[in-house]
Structure 1
Amino acid sequence: MEHDKDIQTTQRGFHCNLCIVNIPNKPSLDDHVKGKKHQHLLRLRAQRKAQEENSVFVSGFKPDTSQTDLKEYFAQFGPVSDVIMDKHKGVYAIVEFSEPQNAQAVLAQLEHQLDGLKLRVKPRERKEFKLATRGKQDSKNTQISLDRLNNELLKATSVNEQMQKVVDSFELKENEKKVRDLLVQLLQEVFTEFFPDCQIVPFGSSVNTFGIHSCDLDLFLDLENTKAFQACAKSSEATGENQSEDCHSEDSILSDIDLSTASPAEVLELVAVILRKCVPGVHKVQTLSTARLPVVKFSHRELNLHGDITINNRLAVRNTRFLQLCSGIDSRLRPLVYTIRLWAKQKQLAGNLSGPGPLLNNYALTLLVIFYLQNRDPPVLPSVNHLKNMACEEEECVIEEWDCTFPSQPFIVPSSKNTEDLCTLLFGFFTFYSKFDFSASVVCLRDGHVLPITDFLRRDEEAVDTAEASGPKPKRSSAPKLGPMNVLDPFEQNHNVAGNLNERTQKNFKRECCEAEKYCRSLQYQRKSTKGKSWGLVRLFAPLSEAGPRSQVETEKIMEVSIPFKAAVLPEPLRAQLALAGKSFRSIWFAKICSAVHTVFHEILKCSPLEETQTVAATTQDKAETEGNEMEVNNNQSVEDSGSQAKSETGKKRPLTVDEEEEEGPSTSTVIEAKRQRLDADMEHPEPVHWTWSQGNRVWAGRRKVRRDLLKTSDETSKPEGGCIDIESRVTQSIVEKEEKLQELLEFKVDAEVVGGNQSTKVVLRFHPSHDTTGVFQDFFHFLESFLPKMAETILGRAGS
């Protein structure tokens, strides 16, 4: 197949310069070229090229010249399709004709005059067609501000000073704060007319001490006093008495709505109407009633501000007070947060330009910084539970049955004994999270330390409450949404503030932390360059495209497939089993994954095992389940709950009675604890598993087309590739029966091991082709990179059904 200029051959397959995507093999390339996106961009590029050929660039006319004037003048050369004028960057226009010969006729005439002025006419500039990306203008503005910041950073004498300059460059200035205060006062006056005794309370970036220029103005409309006013008014009306002075007699919008029974959506619609009709300068009002927290969005034209108004967000107000307190406890927090936020945005880890998406938000990043400071030795910031113990009785606060108690003033909290400077703390942040096991851990600021994810594998009513036992029981007992990164809100303990992240973002975050940690070890980070070169934060903030090549290990061609630990997708029986296993859960999960991988190769892809294939997976799984049973019985769990594990109960010694414990030795709890410690040591990192397989067919080539054909002749519904075991097995069988065999048998080894602790928990599969003279194994590996993790996940899910 001949490839045009849009398709580039790479070591890992192909790259489409038009669509900016990588393609693993030739069959996939054929599908891509015929696909809707590629064909649409081909048509769009041809259309743009035709427009360029049919157009001329015109300048030199008077500023008050209209599009009609230009259209009438150039109509003598042929039909004019469009006239595009830009009077902001300069007085010029693009005149587009219906045919290219019309544009050539214009260019052939040496002189053009309009309103007594000589026009300058030349061919329209030909630009290379590129796929438009979101947030292009925002990126450009950010780059301009970053260039200006870099000039200031290079003048600093230390990293500590550079971090303070970052704060000075991005923090809200006093005049900006005053403008926001004035808008809040205006909204307070307007809304009080319609909702007597209501309160407009700002929260979020504008007031939590971490705000930046042009950050949104988040507002909470507190209607509790208004509800009391309305109840008082109704009571007076029912008794026929005149309303008291407190219950205003004038008509208000409250006569049209009952706040005690109205839904949030109804109240927000009312708020939107008031914003549109009664607040000067407000426009672009939009109600989002289906969001997790329903909100009304608006913009203020003169102030160039974007704002949000919510009515059920008291916890967010309390979170804002908490961040204010942390900022007042230690002055090092703000420079760290500003610096890490900017770093994360430059590395495309945070800052969703188009709204919600799989990137970190500023609140989650700030909590990660605070949690890191809680875990320094000695700690820079105390845990939320320690803060709670420092609060007096008058400062107790419970919102929606969540304990939100902490001191109101920072001077109540003793100063930290930690004396590390900002430069060292920033280095430590990257070191801390480069070795963090996100997959198997939950970040808990309330306790100030990591919680094992096995505590959260029970759903809803079986969820383990991570709050203090002495704290109030929350009315919403469901467990948080588990994901690749789990960061609990300090107070709303069933809310994972990083629940929107996907596997790629978590992986990128950890990778960038590793890269930053390596850089922070160098003199380029620690010392100012005497030759005027980039140093310190300047190089740390370099965007991905400018940060230079990755480490040699990353750029080397390594055939590895990773299957990450995803607690959220595990079936309920397996979740319960892992929850009982504690730290040794990796061994049980590893055995399940190995069994699933074996199934994929042997039963689905029809690979043949060779003689030296080991069956360590089955042995590991038997051992894990047996040990799991022992733990379950020792913890007085029923034998029936253990399911298939009950078989390993035979021959086990009966538990000691209370009297026997006193006579014969240690208590049952002591034995259990010793047993658990031994199991943790033996099973937390089980032995690797090895296979050797052979494959004689191109079972990876053209699978999607075969799947479509099979589904057309069956009653089964379509599922994503790797989403159905039976269908994928039939696809492979069809390929084996109809397609020609490989000229040379493909043999390869697979080594599997589980990692975790100092890195995110996952199973790593390393592939070693025995001999691949025809080069087909590379295509097979590209297919396995996406197919194998999806298929293994599907098999695990079926095992739990």
Structure 2
Amino acid sequence: SEVAETPKKSSSSSTDHNTMSQSNQSRRLQIRTHTGWMECRHDIGTFASSLLSIYESLKPSEEHMSKQSRLIDSLTKSVTKEWPNAQLHLYGSCANSFGTSHSDVDVCLEIEIGTGSEVELLLRLAEILRGDNFDSVEAITSARVPIVRMLDAGSDFSCDICINNLLAVANTKLLKDYAQIDGRLLQLASIVKHWAKLRGVNETYRGTLSSYAYVLMCISFLQLREPKILPCLQAMEPTYTMVVDDTECAYFDEVHQLRDFGAENKETIAELLWAFFHYWAFQHDYRKDVISIRMGKIISKKEKNWTTRIGNDRHLICIEDPFETGHDLGRIVDRQTIRIIREEFERAAAMLQHDDDPCVTLFEPYNYEN
């Protein structure tokens, strides 16, 4: 059985910890979590306004959003000339509310493929877009999800277009609906994603975690708070259903009815951010546990049959996709990168606990040369 190792402290991590201010170590507050009591500095709330300023700075501007809309309008005109019944769907971070002004645009072309192949259709789409003067159009047909990649000169957006990736469209809607229930989810996930990018643990090509995985981790964390901040939408009577290749995507999407769901929980973004990092640094059982927003609770690796490595799927940090439930978002993490990720969680928890100005040190970019 391949399980996550307990991370060893690197010398740089130890140095970070040794140079932290010790002045605040005795000032603590107890915060109740689903796993029991843990201690947090009593003045953690004083950092909330700085964290909220960072969050506000990450939100896409209105100009960014209007450029995105114009791009989709242009693409729709190009596509429907050739395929009148086709539909374009935005998906991913540009559409699920968790994007920034740096987010690229991901588009799904929903279309009846008919007698041709998906590759032929992508090649034809690339031809059409070149003819309509889009820039740097390239059909990448050998990728795991084949795409047409292009650049929109008017907005400078990079845009990837895939065919019939409707599971991604469904989980985009799910995340967008969760984001409308309690504003603390957007705050927490945006800050965690920003931290992960700066610290070099948001790069799937390096064996770390995707932005999507971090958002699921934040949703799960808020489902597990006491009192709960988020409900489990898939455990409720479904009001939205879409079937994609025999996979049923169903959940309660009347989220306007749930706006006060987490009102009993008064935790600030500073308390939640510290507790998130503390959970992933010290409380999560990497050997046994899978986080599941579908169930709204922790489930076991044994139940998922994710206890051993199969092919390249290592299951060292297990994050269940809410609809494609056989898909572990952490499967690409290996023994080296799980150690790096866990050290970064420990560093973040310690910075928030001990540092005089954690809103600076927490987001210091990781220097790969050191």
Q: Normalising by the residue count of structure 1, what TM-score does the alignment of the two structures yield?
A: 0.38
Hey, what does 2:298 align to over in structure 1?
A: 450
Counterpart AA for 2:117: S
For the Cα contact (< 8 Å) 2:126–2:139, is it kept in 1?
A: yes
Residue deviations 1:457-513 (CA, integer Å, cap 9, x gap): 389xxxxxxxxxxxxxxxxxx999443222111111011222222222211111121
Hey, what does 1:337 align to over in structure 2?
A: 189
Cα separation, 1, equivalents of 2:69 and 2:201: 32
For the Cα contact (< 8 Å) 1:479–1:494, is it kept in 2?
A: no
For the Cα contact (< 8 Å) 1:481–1:494, is it kept in 2?
A: no
1:348 counterpart = 2:180: no
Hey, what does 2:155 align to over in structure 1?
A: 303
Residue deviations 1:128-155 (CA, integer Å, cap 9, x gap): xxxxxxxxxxxxxxxxxxxxxxxxxxxx
Instruction: Identify which of 438, 447, 452 aligns with 2:286.
Output: 438
How much has 1:261 moved relative to structure 2?
2.4
Cα separation, 1, equivalents of 2:140 and 2:325: 25
For the Cα contact (< 8 Å) 2:314–2:333, is it kept in 1?
A: no
For the Cα contact (< 8 Å) 1:487–1:496, is it kept in 2?
A: yes
Residue deviations 1:729-777 (CA, integer Å, cap 9, x gap): xxxxxxxxxxxxxxxxxxxxxxxxxxxxxxxxxxxxxxxxxxxxxxxxx
1:179 counterpart = 2:1: no
Hey, what does 1:327 align to over in structure 2?
A: 179
Cα separation, 2, equivalents of 1:407 and 1:309: 29
Helix, strand or coil: the match of 1:495?
coil
CA shift in 2, pair 1:267/1:340, >3 Å: same
Helix, strand or coil: the match of 1:438?
coil
1:541 counterpart = 2:360: no
Counterpart AA for 1:268: L
1:405 counterpart = 2:250: yes
Helix, strand or coil: the match of 1:172?
coil
Cα separation, 2, equivalents of 1:290 and 1:541: 36
Counterpart AA for 2:87: Q
Hey, what does 1:423 align to over in structure 2?
A: 270
Cα separation, 2, equivalents of 1:277 and 1:426: 48
For the Cα contact (< 8 Å) 1:359–1:505, is it kept in 2?
A: yes
Helix, strand or coil: the match of 2:124?
helix
Cα separation, 2, equivalents of 1:426 and 1:210: 16
Cα separation, 2, equivalents of 1:209 and 1:362: 12
Could you list the structure 1 runs, at least 4 aligned residues long, displaced by more than 4 angstroms after superposition: none
1:364 counterpart = 2:364: no
How much has 1:336 moved relative to structure 2?
0.7
- After superposition, where does 1:168-207 map in structure 2 within 5 Å? 168-207=56-95
Cα separation, 1, equivalents of 2:252 and 2:228: 18
Counterpart AA for 2:298: V
Helix, strand or coil: the match of 1:396?
strand
Helix, strand or coil: the match of 1:211?
coil
How much has 1:351 moved relative to structure 2?
3.8
Cα separation, 1, equivalents of 2:208 and 2:251: 30
Helix, strand or coil: the match of 1:209?
coil
Cα separation, 1, equivalents of 2:249 and 2:71: 29
Helix, strand or coil: the match of 2:109?
strand
How much has 1:519 moved relative to structure 2?
2.4
Helix, strand or coil: the match of 1:405?
strand
For the Cα contact (< 8 Å) 2:109–2:162, is it kept in 1?
A: yes
Instruction: Identify which of 337, 347, 351 aligns with 1:519.
Output: 351
Instruction: Identify which of 316, 319, 322 aligns with 2:168.
Output: 316
For the Cα contact (< 8 Å) 1:373–1:379, is it kept in 2?
A: yes
How much has 1:186 moved relative to structure 2?
0.8
Counterpart AA for 1:409: E
Cα separation, 2, equivalents of 1:302 and 1:458: 46
Instruction: Identify which of 365, 370, 377 aligns with 2:226.
Output: 377
1:290 counterpart = 2:139: no
Hey, what does 2:119 align to over in structure 1?
A: 265
Residue deviations 1:9-29 (CA, integer Å, cap 9, x gap): xxxxxxxxxxxxxxxxxxxxx
Cα separation, 1, equivalents of 2:351 and 2:306: 41
Helix, strand or coil: the match of 2:79?
helix
- After superposition, where does 1:635-646 map in structure 2 within 5 Å? none
How much has 1:384 moved relative to structure 2?
3.9
Hey, what does 2:54 align to over in structure 1?
A: 166
Cα separation, 1, equivalents of 2:360 and 2:299: 35
Cα separation, 2, equivalents of 1:412 and 1:455: 33
Cα separation, 2, equivalents of 1:412 and 1:401: 30
Cα separation, 1, equivalents of 2:152 and 2:85: 24
For the Cα contact (< 8 Å) 1:163–1:336, is it kept in 2?
A: no
For the Cα contact (< 8 Å) 1:358–1:502, is it kept in 2?
A: yes
Ranges in structure 1 where 5+ consecutive residues have no aligned partner: 1-156, 228-258, 460-477, 525-534, 549-801
Residue deviations 1:89-142 (CA, integer Å, cap 9, x gap): xxxxxxxxxxxxxxxxxxxxxxxxxxxxxxxxxxxxxxxxxxxxxxxxxxxxxx
Cα separation, 2, equivalents of 1:363 and 1:376: 20
Cα separation, 1, equivalents of 2:351 and 2:333: 26
Cα separation, 2, equivalents of 1:523 and 1:362: 26
Counterpart AA for 2:272: L
For the Cα contact (< 8 Å) 1:206–1:215, is it kept in 2?
A: yes
Larger helix percent: 1
For the Cα contact (< 8 Å) 2:233–2:251, is it kept in 1?
A: yes
- After superposition, where does 1:59-208 map in structure 2 within 5 Å? 158-208=46-96
CA shift in 2, pair 1:181/1:338, >3 Å: same
CA shift in 2, pair 1:287/1:439, >3 Å: farther
Cα separation, 2, equivalents of 1:222 and 1:538: 44
For the Cα contact (< 8 Å) 2:233–2:253, is it kept in 1?
A: no
Residue deviations 1:265-320 (CA, integer Å, cap 9, x gap): 11111111111122x3x222222223222211111223211001111211111111
**Matched-pair identity in %:** 26
- After superposition, where does 1:20-35 map in structure 2 within 5 Å? none
Counterpart AA for 2:285: D
Cα separation, 2, equivalents of 1:512 and 1:441: 20
Instruction: Identify which of 308, 311, 323 aligns with 1:491.
Output: 323
Cα separation, 2, equivalents of 1:500 and 1:480: 7
Hey, what does 1:500 align to over in structure 2?
A: 332
Helix, strand or coil: the match of 1:332?
helix
How much has 1:401 moved relative to structure 2?
2.4
For the Cα contact (< 8 Å) 1:481–1:495, is it kept in 2?
A: no
Cα separation, 2, equivalents of 1:360 and 1:444: 16
For the Cα contact (< 8 Å) 2:182–2:229, is it kept in 1?
A: yes
Over the aligned positions, Cα root-mean-square deviation in angstroms equals 2.4
Cα separation, 1, equivalents of 2:176 and 2:361: 30
Cα separation, 2, equivalents of 1:293 and 1:377: 39
Helix, strand or coil: the match of 2:139?
strand
Cα separation, 2, equivalents of 1:545 and 1:218: 30
Hey, what does 1:510 align to over in structure 2?
A: 342
Helix, strand or coil: the match of 1:491?
coil
Residue deviations 1:205-237 (CA, integer Å, cap 9, x gap): 1121111123111111111xxx4xxxxxxxxxx
Cα separation, 2, equivalents of 1:374 and 1:324: 16
